[in-house]
Amino acid sequence: MLLVVDVGNTNITLGVFDEEKLISTFRLTTKISRTSDEFGLLITDLIKSKNIKVEDIEDVIISSVVPDIMHSFQSGVIKYLHKQPIVVGPGIKTGIKVLTANPREVGADRIVDAVAGYYIYGGPIIVIDYGTATTYDYITKDGEFTSGVTAPGIRISARALWEDAAKLPAIEIKKPEKILGRDTITSMQSGLLYGHIGETEYIIDKIIEETGVENMKVVATGGLGKIISESTDKIDIYDPNLTLQGLRLVYNKEKMKK
For the chain, count helices (H), then strands (E): 7, 11
Q: In 3D, which of 48, 30, 243, 51 has the Cα closest to residue 135?
A: 243
Q: What is the pTM of this model?
A: 0.91
Residue 105 confidence (pLDDT):
86
Name the average pLDDT for the chain. 93
What is the Rg, in whole angstroms, of the alpha carbon atoms belonging to the chain? 19
Q: In 3D, which of 241, 201, 234, 196 has the Cα closest to residue 218?
A: 234
pLDDT at 168 over 90: no
Instruction: Quote the CA–CA distance of 161 and 168 in Å, as a whole number.
Output: 7
CB 22 within 8 A of CB 16: yes
Q: pLDDT class for 23, splitting at 50, 70, 90?
A: very high
The domain ranges of the chain are: 2-87, 97-240
CATH superfamily label, 97-240 = ATPase, nucleotide binding domain (3.30.420.40)
Provide the 8-state DSSP code for 119. I
| Beta-bridge partners for 97 | 144
Chosen CATH of 2-87 out of 3.40.50.1950, 3.40.50.300, 3.30.420.40, 3.10.20.30:
3.30.420.40
- 205 assigned to active site: no
Question: Any idea which of 139-143, 178-182, 237-241 has the lowest mean pLDDT?
Answer: 178-182
> Are both 2-87 and 97-240 of the same fold?
yes
- Note the Cα 31 to chain centre separation in Å: 16
Instruction: Quote the CA–CA distance of 56 and 49 in Å, as a whole number.
Output: 14
Q: pLDDT class for 258, splitting at 50, 70, 90?
A: low
CB 231 within 8 A of CB 100: no
pLDDT at 167 over 80: no
Strand-pair category, 133-139 with 2-7: unpaired
Instruction: Quote the CA–CA distance of 33 and 184 in Å, as a whole number.
Output: 36
Catalytic residue, candidates 6, 56, 68, 109: 109
What percentage of the chain has pLDDT greater than the value 70? Answer: 99
Q: In 3D, which of 209, 253, 247 has the Cα closest to residue 87?
A: 247
Residue 145 confidence (pLDDT):
95
What is the distance between the terminal CA atoms of the chain, rounded to a whole angstrom?
19
